[in-house]
Structure 1
Amino acid sequence: MNLIKQYVKEYKNTYIQSVLLAVLGVVSGLAAYIVLAKMIVGLIGKNTEFGFYLQYGLMVLAAMVLKEIFAAASTSISHQATFYSLKKIRQEISKKLFRMPLGNVMNISSGKLKNIIVDQVDSMETILAHIIPEMTANIIGPILLLIYMFILDWRLAIVSLIPLVIGMFCMKSVMASYGKKYQQSVEINQKMNNAVVEYIGGIEVIKMFNQSETSYQKYSEAVHENAAFYYHWMKETMIGVSAYRKISPMSLLTILPLGVYFYLNGSLTIVTFITIIVLSFGTVENILTATNYMDDLSRIGTITKEIGLILDAPDLEHGKENVSLSGSDIELKNVDFSYSEDKKVLEGVSLTIGENQVTAFVGPSGGGKSTITKLIAGFWNADAGEVIIGGKNIKEIPLEQLSETISYVSQDNYLFDMSVRENIRIGKPSASDKEVEEMAKLSGCDEFIRGLSAGYDTIVGEGGGHLSGGEKQRISIARAMLKNAPIVILDEATSYMDT
C-alpha cells in the first residue's frame, strides 16, 4: 500500500484532476436520469407539446455526451500519470537488482522475476488508472443521487437499497477469501512460468539426453495445476457472484409494491414515484460499476508484497560518494564467505594482487575460485574480513565507481538480442564503430564476425543463441577490452573457446 501511496503522492494533482473529471462524468450521466424522469412524468401527464420533449431530449443527449467527454478526459489523464508511475517502478526494480547481492538476485527464479516485473506491475494499472478516478466517482455520484432521493421520499430511498444489500451479502463470502486465493494464484502462475522457462531454456539438453517425457511431464503438470486452480476457484465463486449481479439491480421489485401502496393511500405523488423509480436505476448501475473494482482492491496487498520482495530487499554495502583510489592493487584480508549458513566456501582467505599483475587462481571445481572473483567484483559482501581495492575497502566504493574500475567476463556469457556491434559497444557506449572493430580484432573475433550474414550488424538472438559458445565468449572479451577498466577479471574465460 505504501508503494501505491508513494506514486499517487508524486502525481497527486494529476490524479485529483482525473477524479474531478470522473465525478463530473458520473454526475452528467445521473443528470440524464433526472431529465428522463421528467419526460416520463410528462408522458403520464399526457403532455402533448413537442417542444417539451425536444427540449428535454436534447438535455438527455447533452448529458450523455458530457458524460463520455469527461470520462475520456479522466481516463486519459489518469493513464498518463499511471504509465509514468509504472515506468518508474520498473526502473526502480532494475536499479534495485543492480544494488542487491548477486546471490539474492539468483535466488529469485526467472519466472518469478518475470511475474513481478511484468505481470504484477501491469496489474497496478487498474488500481492507479481506474480505481482512483472511476471507483471514487461511482461512489460519490450515487451518494449524491441517494441524498436527492431521500429528499424526495426517504421511505422509497431506503427500500431501493434492499436488493443491493442482499447482493452485497451474497458477495461477502466471495470477497472474504479473495486475497488468499489471489496470493495462491500468483504462486501457481510463478510455478508455471518457471516450468515454461525451464522447459524452453533446456530444450537442447532435454533432446540430447532423451528426457522429453520427464521434462514435459513437469511442464504439463504445472499447466494442469494452473488450469485446475482457476476452474475450482470459479466454481467456488460462481454462485455468489451470479447472485450478486442478478439481485442487486432488482430495486424495482422493492420500490414498485411499496410505491403503489403509498400512492394509493395518498402519501406519495405520481411525479415523485416515477422519479425515484428512474433514479434508482442510475444509482444501482453506478454502485455496481464501483464494486466491479472490489477484486482489484483485494489484490493490492499481494501486488505490493510481491513488488516489495525486490524493492524492500537489503542492498549491498557500498559508499554513496566517489572515493579516491591509490591504484588498482587488490587485497583480501581474512575473508570468510558462505552461500548458506551451514557451509563456508571461503575461510580466512588473505591474498594480495599488485597493480598490472596477472594472477591465476588454480584449484579443484567448487574450491572457491569464482567466489573470490565475484567478491572482488562486488557481487557480494564478504561475511567477515575485508576486500580492498586501491587502498579502499570495497564497501566504501560506490557501485557505479566499482563498475567503472572492473571489467568482468563470466564463465556464463550473456549477449543481448541485438547486433554484434551493439553488444560489444556495451563496454563503452560512446565508442565509435572503428573502436569496436579494433577491439574485436584484438580479441580474435573480427574474422568470424565478418563471416556472419550481416557482419557486425548481425542480430545475435536472445542470450546470443545464434552464436557458438566460443563466439559468445570472444565477443564478451572484446566488450571487456573496450571498457578499458584498470582491473580485468576473467572467470574461466577460455572455457568455451574454440580450438
Structure 2
Amino acid sequence: MPKQMNGGLRVIKRFMDRYQLTEEGAKGLRRSSIASFFKYLAFMAPIIIIMYFVQGLLYQNLKSVHFYIIGILLTGIIMYIIIERQYEATYKETYQEASNLRIEIAEILRELPLSYYSRHNLSDVAQTIMQDVSDIEHALSHALPDFHGFIPYLLIVSVLLLLGDFKLGLCVVIPMLVGMILFYLSKSMQEKATGKFYLVNRENTEKFQKAIDLNQEIRAYGLKNDVGHDLVEFQDVRENEQIKSELSQALPLQLSQIIVVLSLGMTIYFGSQLYIDGETNLVMLLGYILAAVKLINGLQSLYMNISEVIYIDSRVKRIKSIKQEPLQTGKEDITLDSFDIEFKNVSFSYYEGQGLIKDLTFTAQQDQVTSIIGPSGCGKTTVLRLVSRLYDYDSGSITIGGVDIKAIATETLFNYISMVFQDVILFNKSVLENIRVGRPDASDEEVIQAAKLANCQDFVDRLDGGYDTYIGENGAKLSGGERQRISIARAFLKDAPIILLDEISSSLDVINEMKVQESLNKLIEDKTVLIVSHRLKSIEKTDKIVVLNNGRVDSIGDHDSLMKDSELYQDLVEKSQLAEDFEY
C-alpha cells in the first residue's frame, strides 16, 4: 500500500511539473487518466462478444439468444457507467482546475516585486492568465486524460496480441511502432514552430495593446496610417508563422496516421496467408483484425492528443517561468513601534549594469518632513518605491524603526505606509468607493472627512451624484488635479504612520496646493513623511531636504543651509524660480 501511495504521489508530482497544474489539478488528471484507461478497456468488450459469437457459429455450439442479449445489455451498462464516470472525472476536474490555476498564478503575481512588471508587458501577463490557462484547460478536457490513459492500454493490448499469436501480433504492432517513432522524431520541429508562433502571437497582442493605449497620441501626431500599416504588415508575418506552425504538426500527424492504417492491411494480408497455411484459425484472425481497427482509431486520436500536448508546451513553460520568479518574502507578525527610515549605502538598478541609486545614505526621522529633490532622472521617485518595497534594493540596507524592510512582509509593511504617486490609478466606481480604497472598513463619514481634508469637496459638489457619482475607467470623467486629490484623500483616510508623497502638487493650481499643504500640516503630526516635488517653493519649509544627483546624495540640510553650501540646490532653486516667473 505505501508503495502504491508513493507511486501515486510521484505521478501527481510529475503532472504538476510537466503541465504546471495545481496539486488538485494533478490529482484530477490522474483520476481522469485512470478513468480513460478503463474506458479503452471497456471498448474491447464488444470485440470479445463478437469473437465469442463467431466461434459458436463456426463450431455450431451457439448459446441461447437470451445469453447473448444479456451479455450485450451487461456490456452496454458497464460501458455506460465507465464512460459516464470518465466524462465527469475529466470535465468536472478540468473546469475547476482552470479556476484554481488562475487563482494560483494571481497569488504569485501578487507576491512578485514591481520590478517583474517593468520587465514584462502587462498584455503578456494578461494573456498568460486568460489564454494560456484556457489552452491548458482545453488540453485537460480533450487530450491529456486520453493520452495518459491510452498509453498503458496500448502496451497491455500489444503484449497480449504478441502472446496470443506472435506473427499476427507483429502485423498489428510493427506499423504502429514505426508511426510512433516517426511522430516522435518530429517532436522538436513541432515544438520549435509552435513556440515561435506563440511568441509572434504575443508580439501581435502587444502591438494592438500599444495602439489602443496610445490612440490619442497616435492621432495627435498624425501616425494613424503608419501604425495601421505596421499592424497590417505584421498580420502577414503572424499568418506565415501560423501556417508554418500548423504544417509542422499536420504533416507528421497525417504521415503517422497513414502508416498506422497499414496495420489493418498487413493483418488482413499476412493473416490470410497464415490462415491458408493452417497456422491460425478464422476466429483468431477476425479477432486480430478487429483489434487492429480499434488500435488504429485509438492511435490516430493519440497522435492528435500528442500534437495538443506539444502545442501547449510554450504555454506551460510560460506559466512555469512565473512560478519560478523569486518572491518578496518577509514576516507578517512584525510590529513597528518607531518609524525613522534609514538608508545605509543603498544601491539599486532597474536593469542589470545600469545603476540608478548608488551608495545612498540618509535618515528620514519620525515627526519630520523629509524632501527628496534633484534633477530629472536622479532617482527621486525610486527612493519612495524602495521604501515601500515596490522594488527591492540590490545592496545596503533600508530600515524602519531599526527593522530591515526586507524582513517585513509587503502586506504588513503596507499597513504602515500611505502612498500618493504621480500615476494615479482609479476604478470605475463612485468617488466614495475610490477613496475608501485607502481603508476598506471606513464609514461614509470618515471617507467624506478625508475627502474634505484633500480638498475634494469643491469638485464633488459639481458632480450630479455627488460622492455616489461613477467616475469612469481610471477616473476618465475627472481632471488630472481631481484624480490626484482623490489619491491624496486615500492617504488621509488610511492615516498610516509613514506617508510617501510623489509630486502631489503636479496637477494642482496654487490655491488648491496651499489648501492641501494646510491639510498635510495636520496629517503629519508624529509621522514620518517623505516627499518628492519639482516645485521647490512647496518644500522650502520642510525639516530636511536631501539633494540627489545621479543617484547619489549631493547634500543634506534645510533650505537656508543648502542655499549657502550646495551649488546644485542653488541652481535648482534658481531654475525653479525662472520657470514660475515665465510668461507665455
TM-score normalised to structure 2 length: 0.75
Quote the residue 2:73 is aligned against: 58
Aligned to 2:225: 213
| Superposition deviation, residue 405 in structure 1 | 0.9
Contact 2:54/2:283, CA 8 A, preserved across alignment: no
Distance 1:208 1:136, change over 3 A: same
- Maintained 8 Å contact 1:33/1:278: yes
1:95-494 map, 5 Å: 95-97=110-112, 100=113, 102-126=114-138, 133-298=145-310, 302-316=314-328, 319-449=330-460, 451-452=462-463, 455-494=466-505
Question: CA separation in 1, counterparts of 2:36 and 2:500?
Answer: 58
* Aligned-pair CA distance for 1:75: 1.0
Residue type of the alignment partner of 2:189: S
For the residue of structure 2 that corresponds to 1:358, the secondary structure is: strand
Secondary structure of 1:370's partner? helix
Provide the secondary structure at the position in 2 that maps to 1:337: strand
Displacement of 1:12 after TM fit?
A: 6.1
Query: Which runs of 5 or more residues in structure 2 are unaligned?
Result: 1-13, 513-584
1:15 touches 1:81 (CA, 8 Å); kept in 2?
no
Post-superposition shift, 1:454? 5.3
**Counterparts in 2 of 1:40-79, with a 5 A limit?**
51=66, 54-79=69-94
C-alpha separation between the residues in 1 aligned to 2:331 and 2:89?
Answer: 41
Counterpart CA distance in 2 for 1:40 and 1:462 is: 73
- Aligned-partner Cα distance in 2 for 1:232–1:380: 41
Provide Cα deviations, 1:364-388, integer angstroms capped at 9, x if missing partner.
3223221222122222233443323
User: What do the CA deviations read for 1:70-121 (whole angstroms, capped 9, x no partner)?
Assistant: 3213214532662354144323322332xx2x23321111222223333333
Pick one of 25, 30, 34 that aligns with 2:39: 25
RMSD: 3.2
Q: 1:185 offset after TM fit, Å? A: 2.1
Distance 1:286 1:457 in 2: 61
8 Å CA contact 1:32–1:64 kept in 2: the answer is no
**Larger CA Rg, structure 1 vs 2:** 2
| Secondary structure, aligned partner of 1:435 | helix
CA contact (8 A) 2:98 2:133 kept: no
Residue 30 of structure 1 contacts residue 145 of structure 1 at CA under 8 Å; is this kept in 2? Answer: no
- Specify the alignment match of 1:83 in structure 2: 98
Deviations 1:26-45 (A, max 9, x none): 22222123224445666778
SS at match of 1:359: strand
1:149–1:66 distance in 2 versus 1, CA, 3 Å? farther
Secondary structure of 2:399 counterpart: strand
Distance 1:231 1:127, change over 3 A: closer
- Partner SS, residue 387 of structure 1: strand
Name which of structure 1's ranges 119-128 and 226-235 shifts more when overlaid on structure 2.
Answer: 119-128
In structure 2, the CA distance between the partners of 1:462 and 1:29, relative to structure 1 (3 Å rule), is farther
SS at match of 1:94: helix
Instruction: Report the CA distance shift for 1:248/1:423 in structure 2 as closer, same or farther (over 3 A).
Output: farther
Aligned-partner SS, 1:360: strand
How far apart are the structure 2 equivalents of 1:431 and 1:300?
46
Structure 1: distance between partners of 2:476 and 2:46: 61
Give CA-to-partner distance per residue, 1:231-290, whole Å, 9 cap, x none: 123334443322223332343211111222222222222122212211222222223333
Instruction: Give 1:296 shift.
Output: 3.9
CA shift, 1:206, in A, is: 0.8
Matched residue pairs, number? 495
SS at match of 2:368: coil
Q: Bigger CA drift: 422-431 or 49-58?
A: 49-58
Tell me how far apart the structure 1 counterparts of residues 180 and 57 of structure 2 sit (CA, whole Å): 35
1:251 maps to a residue whose letter is S
Shift of 1:159: 0.3
Q: Report the alpha carbon displacement of residue 490 of structure 1 after superposing the two structures with TM.
A: 1.6
CA contact (8 A) 2:135 2:312 kept: no
Bigger RCO (CA 8 Å, 6+ sep): 1
- Work out the CA distance in 2 between the residues paired with 1:283 and 1:337: 61
Letter in 1 for 2:482: E
Q: 1:397 to 1:418 in 2, by over 3 A?
A: same
What is the letter of the counterpart of residue 48 of structure 2? Answer: I
Residue identity over aligned pairs, in percent, reads: 28
Indicate if the aligned counterparts of 2:186 and 2:252 stay in contact, CA closer than 8 A. yes
Q: Is the 8 A contact 2:420 2:500 kept in 1?
A: yes
Which of 46, 49, 54 is matched with 1:35 structurally? Answer: 49
TM-score between both structures, scaled by the size of structure 1: 0.87
The residue identity in structure 2 corresponding to 1:154 is F
1-side partners of 2:166 and 2:473: how far apart?
A: 67
In 2, the alpha carbon distance for the partners of 1:448 and 1:33 equals: 80
User: Can you list the C-alpha shifts for 1:118-138, whole angstroms capped at 9, x where unaligned?
Assistant: 333333335555655322222
Aligned partners of 2:20, 2:186: CA distance in 1, in Å? Answer: 30
